[in-house]
Structure 1
Amino acid sequence: MKVAILGGCGAMGGLFGGWLARAGLDVTLVDVSTEAVETINRSGLRIDEDGSTATIQVAASSQPEEIGTVDLILTFVKCYHTADAVSAALPMMHADTVVLSLQNGWGNAERIAEIAGRGRVVAGLTYHSCTLVAPGHLRHAGSGPTHIGELDGTSTPRLQAVSDALASAGFEVSVSAHIVDEIWKKLALNVCTLPTAALLGFPAHQLNQHEGTRDTMRALLSEVGQVARAQGIQLDEAERWEAITGLLDRAVGARGSMVQDVEARRPTEIDVINGAIVTAGRRYDIATPFNSAMVWMIQSLQESYRDRQA
């Protein structure tokens, strides 16, 4: 199987691309960062995990049109780069190319479908966490399951082929007939933890150590549950709360993606995380004051560092 990773020199893209390459698949990391591409092609991809370091030889490129067609494209770019990245990747697609989104937030699959065609798209999510240390250098901070599924819930040979490829690389993969429900479970985690940590500068585990942050996350989760039920999405709030707090307790020292974005003065994905809850609330006439407040505050924070850069 020939594989391309969009956003492949980033933290999560590098992790998945590196592991797939280590398993013997033909992988190219596709990224706009020429510094990262040059570093990886020259010195390999460095991944720190479990107290050791591995250097993986994997191809990297900033020119998707020069790669040729591939069988699988994994999408790890930030949500606001999805349209541009998928458009640039069109020359890599043949008639049966599968495009799998493992991105954060809600709505990425539809963005990809608008450009590449709905028939190409497979949706998913992963609970792995990874940090970009430097160009070509990652720290794998935590492991977890990866769920993938067809948008219509069917079981297909191509879905099994993608699952087998990921499993061969060491990922714990689950094929789901209810992938939308699974995506919303991950969305609930991100809604509660990412902006809360970003605003306070907290590592993940600290969110579960203070009454104020726990109460805030509870309130955010309640709004997720309300808008999910309005759409017929199965989301058990009690199960999610136990899963979220348990994950936070295990993620000692881990820093969420939104914290990393704020610290690097990059745009965040707030619009497809808490913003997705606010948008759904408006559609179904459900008040979402806590999620609205998170959107307002993160947007203000982004404006503040854009103003300082101007």
Structure 2
Amino acid sequence: MYIKTRRCETHIETVLECARITRIVEILVFGAGAIGSFFGGLLSQRHDVTLIGRAEHISAVKSHGLRVSGKTSIIAKPHAAMRVPQGAKPDFVFVTTKSYDTANTMIALRAFADRAIFVTLQNGLGNAETIARTARRVVAGTTAHGVTFVGPGEIRHAGVGETMIGAWSRVSESDLVRLRDLLADVGIVASVTSDIRTELWSKLVVNASINPIAALAEVPNGRIVRDKLLLGVLEAVCREATAVAKAEGARVDEEELRHRTILVAKRTAANRASMLQDLDRHHRTEIDAITGSIVRAAERHRISVPLNASLYALVRAREAAFRVTSGANVRD
């Protein structure tokens, strides 16, 4: 396979020249939010894909297809359901739920624990471990594609980003190459890494440096790097989080991660971070799996992370305010 990338100041254009995968692969995407719908929608152009998600979104996809706008413009026609269909025999199961739903998700997916390769593209830490307690073969992955959930049946691809995959448990190199080529065949360029734990920590640092700031300031990602005050906060949060990642054994470099975080914010400039989207809809956020993971690891290593701790407390306070005003729990 040959992948050629052309760069300019305003966009990245990727041209794929590879042998197309001819066998139809059955894929189940559990958690059809923004990212799950994006990956599932693109994969459905070549393969037998079923999205599992919420009633309104699933109903719209069944009726009109999945509309993807922005950097990618298609109307995809995946299968869609609120529950796993009887008789499903997926080759791959993509888990793209919120991190706090992973354990319950695996109860619904345990029938495929021995036959399918499970792929997590979720935010935060701990998801691969949770999945591997049930599933035999697990691939952990990260993606920096920026995707916004516009409404039932519609998502917007707001920014192109890097996707990384690596073996977590009982996955061979040939399995990873097969998955990489499956994604490449529909225009999602993925790289295989031998150190997925470092990649998960790197993605966590990037997320922790963008998501809470965007959520609390109520701005799209690009505004953070254009505003000198917000950029200063991003860089300070990134420094704290990188120190924790190093203490946890991740092979990361502070300057490289700072540059990577700013680059992700620029490439996804028009995107509203997932945490901001959650707060907009009065949903529970993933602050505990993202910034909470950094704060707890910092406590274990006795590292001071005042900015991360402050962002964690503030987002949790916003969630609590929703509970008070609604008289009910924040919606999951």
1:269 to 275, 279, 286: 286
Percent identical residues: 33
**Counterpart position of 1:61:** 81
CA contact (8 A) 1:145 1:172 kept: yes
Tell me how far apart the structure 1 counterparts of residues 268 and 92 of structure 2 sit (CA, whole Å): 31
Alignment of 1:84-233 (within 5 A): 84-91=104-111, 93=112, 95-114=114-133, 116-117=134-135, 119-151=136-168, 155-233=172-250
**2:275 matched to 1:258?**
yes
Q: Secondary structure at the match of 2:288?
A: helix
**2:97 matched to 1:81?**
no
**Counterpart position of 1:16:** 39
Deviations 1:97-148 (A, max 9, x none): 111100111111112122x23x321100011111111111111111122100
**Counterpart position of 1:27:** 49
**2:26 matched to 1:2?**
yes
Alignment of 1:227-246 (within 5 A): 227-246=244-263
Deviations 1:159-188 (A, max 9, x none): 222112111111111010011111111111
Q: Secondary structure at the match of 1:105?
A: coil
CA contact (8 A) 1:71 1:97 kept: yes
Tell me how far apart the structure 2 counterparts of residues 58 and 152 of structure 1 sit (CA, whole Å): 29
Unaligned segments of structure 2, at least 5 residues? 1-24, 328-332
Deviations 1:213-246 (A, max 9, x none): 2222222112212111112211111011112223
Higher helix share: 1
CA contact (8 A) 1:155 1:177 kept: no
CA contact (8 A) 1:70 1:94 kept: no
- Structure 1: which amino acid aligns with 2:65? G
**2:54 matched to 1:36?**
no
Tell me how far apart the structure 2 counterparts of residues 61 and 251 of structure 1 sit (CA, whole Å): 30
**2:86 matched to 1:48?**
no
Unaligned segments of structure 1, at least 5 residues? none
Offset of residue 212 of structure 1: 2.5
- Classify 1:154/1:74 alpha carbon distance in 2 versus 1 (closer, same or farther; 3 Å): closer
CA contact (8 A) 2:137 2:170 kept: no
Q: Secondary structure at the match of 1:305?
A: helix
TM-score of the superposition, structure 1-length normalised? 0.93
Offset of residue 94 of structure 1: 5.8
CA contact (8 A) 1:3 1:73 kept: yes
Tell me how far apart the structure 2 counterparts of residues 229 and 188 of structure 1 sit (CA, whole Å): 11
CA contact (8 A) 2:160 2:267 kept: no
Q: Secondary structure at the match of 1:112?
A: helix
Tell me how far apart the structure 2 counterparts of residues 260 and 127 of structure 1 sit (CA, whole Å): 16
CA contact (8 A) 1:4 1:74 kept: yes
Tell me how far apart the structure 2 counterparts of residues 276 and 77 of structure 1 sit (CA, whole Å): 18
Aligned length, in residue pairs? 303
Offset of residue 87 of structure 1: 1.2
Cα-Cα RMSD: 1.7
CA contact (8 A) 2:50 2:78 kept: yes
Tell me how far apart the structure 1 counterparts of residues 232 and 98 of structure 2 sit (CA, whole Å): 29
Tell me how far apart the structure 2 counterparts of residues 147 and 166 of structure 1 sit (CA, whole Å): 11
CA contact (8 A) 1:199 1:298 kept: yes
Tell me how far apart the structure 2 counterparts of residues 193 and 235 of structure 1 sit (CA, whole Å): 18
Q: In terms of mean alpha carbon deviation, does 273-282 or 248-257 score higher?
A: 248-257
- Structure 2: which amino acid aligns with 1:73? V
